[in-house]
């Protein structure tokens, strides 16, 4: 088979990131699954591709707004990642295609005083992460899953994936980010979930 026929050509394998956090690829108390269960706070929201916008605001040099076509024209990567749900299951070797968080941050020009990032979504979901946890190439705004458009039930048209955190830190149906100068609690953090969400430390709840 030639490289042109190789489906893995151009896919960056980042599944080894677990070595930064623990000795085992599968975090403690997680169960490996071949399925991709569907979980959300309130069902799948509607979206209109003609009206959809993605906004970058807060402590940046330039606030940005993209429509759906403009966002997908940004530099794109495909990565093989692992996906860890706070409810106890993990799906390994998932391929996501999208834009890295650092790419978007570089375009906006993040101020030195920015320390956290709030993610916003179509269903009014929010979640917060320290900026240093976002400024990783593995944090993707993804619209493609295993070579196909990201299903609506899994966060399509666009979701965030955070393979070094439990997946509730990766907002489905994401519509924007705000760079913050101090931490704020998002939807699940206000309801007692961990603000750090480290799967290898089992940081599930505050």
Q: What percent of the chain has pLDDT over 70?
A: 94
For residue range 125-136, list pLDDT tens digits in order. 999 999 999 999
**Phi/psi zone of residue 65: left (φ > 0), alpha (ψ -120 to 50 degrees), beta?**
beta
Q: Is the pLDDT of residue 2 over 60?
A: no
For residue range 14-36, list pLDDT tens digits in order. 999 999 999 999 999 999 999 98
Domain boundaries, the chain: 9-16+51-195
Q: Is the pLDDT of residue 157 over 60?
A: yes
For residue range 79-90, list pLDDT tens digits in order. 999 999 999 999
pLDDT class for 68, splitting at 50, 70, 90? very high
User: The dihedral of CA 150, 152, 155, 159: what is its sign?
Assistant: positive
For residue range 171-191, list pLDDT tens digits in order. 999 999 999 999 999 999 999
Listed residue (74, 67, 116, 114) closest to 98, CA to CA: 74
pTM for the model stands at 0.93
User: The dihedral of CA 204, 178, 12, 144: what is its sign?
Assistant: positive
Cα 180 off chain centre by: 18
Q: Is the pLDDT of residue 7 over 70?
A: no
Class of the CATH domain delimited by 9-16+51-195: alpha beta
DSSP, collapsed to helix, strand or coil, labels residue 70 as helix
pLDDT class for 6, splitting at 50, 70, 90? very low
H/E segment holding residue 64: strand 64-66
Q: Please indicate whether residue 155 or residue 43 has the higher confidence score (pLDDT).
A: 155
**C-alpha–C-alpha distance, residues 167 and 199, integer Å:** 9
pLDDT for 100: 98
**C-alpha–C-alpha distance, residues 55 and 77, integer Å:** 21
Q: Is the pLDDT of residue 3 over 60?
A: no
Q: Is the pLDDT of residue 4 over 50?
A: no
Q: Is the pLDDT of residue 40 over 70?
A: no
For residue range 49-59, list pLDDT tens digits in order. 999 999 999 99
Average pLDDT in the chain: 93
Work out the number of other CB atoms within 10 angstroms of the CB of residue 96.
Answer: 26
Determine the average pLDDT of the residues in 130-148.
Answer: 97
């Amino acid at each position: 088979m030639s490289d042109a026929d190789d489906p893995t050509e151009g896919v960056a394998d980042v599944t080894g990131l677990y070595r930064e956090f623990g000795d085992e690829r599968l975090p403690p108390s997680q169960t490996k699954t071949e399925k991709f269960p569907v979980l959300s706070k309130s069902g799948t929201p509607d979206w209109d591709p003609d009206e959809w916008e993605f906004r970058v605001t807060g402590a940046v040099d330039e606030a940005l707004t993209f429509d759906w076509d403009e966002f997908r024209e940004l530099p794109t990567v495909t990565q093989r990642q692992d996906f860890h749900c706070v409810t106890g299951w993990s799906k390994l070797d998932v391929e996501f295609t999208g834009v890295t968080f650092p790419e978007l941050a570089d375009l906006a020009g993040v101020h030195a005083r920015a320390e956290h990032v709030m993610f916003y979504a179509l269903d009014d979901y929010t979640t917060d992460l320290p900026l240093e946890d976002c400024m990783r190439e593995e944090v993707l705004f993804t619209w493609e899953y295993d070579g196909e458009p990201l299903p609506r039930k899994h966060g399509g048209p666009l979701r965030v994936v955070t393979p070094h955190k439990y997946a509730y830190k990766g907002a489905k149906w994401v519509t924007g980010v705000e760079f913050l100068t101090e931490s704020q609690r998002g939807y699940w953090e206000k309801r007692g979930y961990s603000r750090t969400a480290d799967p290898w430390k089992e940081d599930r709840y505050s």
